[in-house]
Structure 1
Amino acid sequence: MTLEILTHPSLQPIRHGFFTRKGGASSGLFSGLNCGRGSTDQRDMVAINRARVAEALGVGPDRLATVHQTHSAQVVTLTEGDDLEAVAMTEADAIVSTIPGIAIAVLTADCQPILFADPEAGVIAAAHAGWKGALDGILQETVAAMKAAGATDIRAVIGPCISQRAYEVGEDFMDRFLTEDDGHARFFAGGPNGRPMFDLPGFGLSVLRDLGVEAEWTRHCTYSDPDRFFSYRRSTHEGAADYGRLISAITL
């Protein structure tokens, strides 16, 4: 099966892709393109999957840069000569790059994968933004790091993530957002079980646009489309022992 790669006109002509689970070598729970080294999938299958992603983006398998994601607001800016295996061990949730020939990527399974670009300045970024990272400032820090690298006209696209209709949360979760800003109430709606439903991509878009970034969402829900996307929450509801990780990547 061939890879399925979602792209968006806002990021063109920069080569990029939000990869679905289709076209991978993994099987079982991870059937398809599981790119998560932190999963319990076979390491050689994950390596094959990541190599296929690198090839699709026109870079070598050793030129696909990721970080050790921890739901933080930490950003890594790549420099010439960086050891990408060492970068992969660095705790961070976004990568900024101005270096041609390196693809930067984040892994998700319901959280927001966000790809950024300023094509004229030659600055790109990839960020992993779950609710905690988004609330703690990962998007602000990513934009700041891009500007420090020379970006002035930044575009961003939020890829497949969990949508509001599938994201039931607790009152304490909602209170964390309202304590930060009572205007955040607009990102919550009443759910069928009487609990709040959180609009994660709506929150991400609002933060990005407030930063002056031209931002869009691909409008794909990871929870609701098991044939195309891995989902942490869906796997939890199904009682699965683990789950695959989607990859989203961009390169100059």
Structure 2
Amino acid sequence: MWSENGGLWRDDGFPFFHFVTTAGLGDMKDPAVRGGFLESAGINPETLVTANQVHGNNVEVVSSDVRGLLLPETDAIVITSKGLSAGILTADCLPVFLGVKEAGIAAVVHAGWKGLANGIIFRAVEKLKALTAGEIYASVGPHIQKCCYEVGAELKNAFGVAGEERKLDLDAIAVEQLKKSGIQYISSSGLCTSCSDGRFFSYRKDKTAKRILSLVKI
């Protein structure tokens, strides 16, 4: 179950420290804002691994100490060394947290509709399974929900969704992909970034360039 405390949303059942920020904490795309927030949260900004997100399906594993590493053209980050954290920026796309408690391995995935269609979740889970045989926990953070995501027939067809309804349920698609990957523990926040009364940033609603941060730390 997801809960909020101090402007941070977390899944209480996920095995690693993690959170999703809210709009009130500022634009996490701004390095100065992000750095100040991380320091106030007790996280060294230099231990945070981020990525140039391109709505693709590239997954990178980071296993050594870093100093503010920015990965090129990457949409899923796996971390394996204690003290590291990984973060993605979103404003409607899905942040998906993955973790294997006994192995001390975690990941955060940036999954827009293009990433889902290109198999970013499948690839991220495969990467974790190549590193450990432990049970994977998955949790889907706040993103644009079906209630606010109207699309055309072409996009629905990309996911094999039939019917007259013009709204696409990315949450259900992500959960189904996680299930097909063999994950048993799956949680979803159910929170919509578009109709949240300004709680989160939403590109579709406001055309904003501002972003929230989804971070996991081991």
Superposed CA RMSD in Å reads: 1.8
Would the aligned equivalents of 1:163 and 1:221 in 2 still touch at CA under 8 Å? yes
Q: Which amino acid aligns with 1:247?
A: L
Aligned equivalent of 2:112, options 130, 133, 136: 130
TM-fit CA distance, 1:144: 0.9
CA separation in 2, counterparts of 1:100 and 1:248? 18
The answer as to 2:37 corresponding to 1:52 is yes
Report matched runs for 1:14-93 at 5 Å. Answer: 14-23=16-25, 33-36=26-29, 43=30, 46-53=31-38, 55-56=40-41, 58-82=42-66, 84-85=68-69, 88-93=70-75
Q: Which TM-score applies when normalising by structure 2?
A: 0.91
Change (3 A) 1:151 1:17: farther
CA separation in 2, counterparts of 1:55 and 1:65? 18
Q: Which residue of 2 aligns with 1:228?
A: 199
Q: Which amino acid aligns with 2:20?
A: F
Would the aligned equivalents of 2:78 and 2:108 in 1 still touch at CA under 8 Å? yes
Structure 1: give runs of 5+ residues left out of the alignment: 24-32, 37-42, 179-183, 191-195, 237-241
Q: Deviations over 1:40-94 (max 9, x none)?
A: xxx5xx42334313542x4211111110000001001002144543xx1411100
Q: Which amino acid aligns with 2:203?
A: Y
Identify the structure with the greater helix proportion: 1
Report matched runs for 1:1-252 at 5 Å. Answer: 3-12=6-15, 14-23=16-25, 33-36=26-29, 43=30, 46-53=31-38, 55-56=40-41, 58-82=42-66, 84-85=68-69, 88-178=70-160, 184-185=161-162, 190=165, 196-213=166-183, 214-236=185-207, 242-252=208-218
Residue-pair matches, total: 213
Would the aligned equivalents of 1:18 and 1:247 in 2 still touch at CA under 8 Å? yes
Identify the structure with the greater strand proportion: 2
Change (3 A) 1:155 1:129: same
Would the aligned equivalents of 2:17 and 2:216 in 1 still touch at CA under 8 Å? yes
CA separation in 2, counterparts of 1:147 and 1:154? 8
Would the aligned equivalents of 1:59 and 1:101 in 2 still touch at CA under 8 Å? no
CA separation in 1, counterparts of 2:206 and 2:146? 17
Q: Tell me which stretches of 4 or more aligned residues in structure 1 moved more than 6 Å.
A: none
Q: Deviations over 1:179-203 (max 9, x none)?
A: xxxxx43xx762xxxxx10001110
Q: Which TM-score applies when normalising by structure 1?
A: 0.79
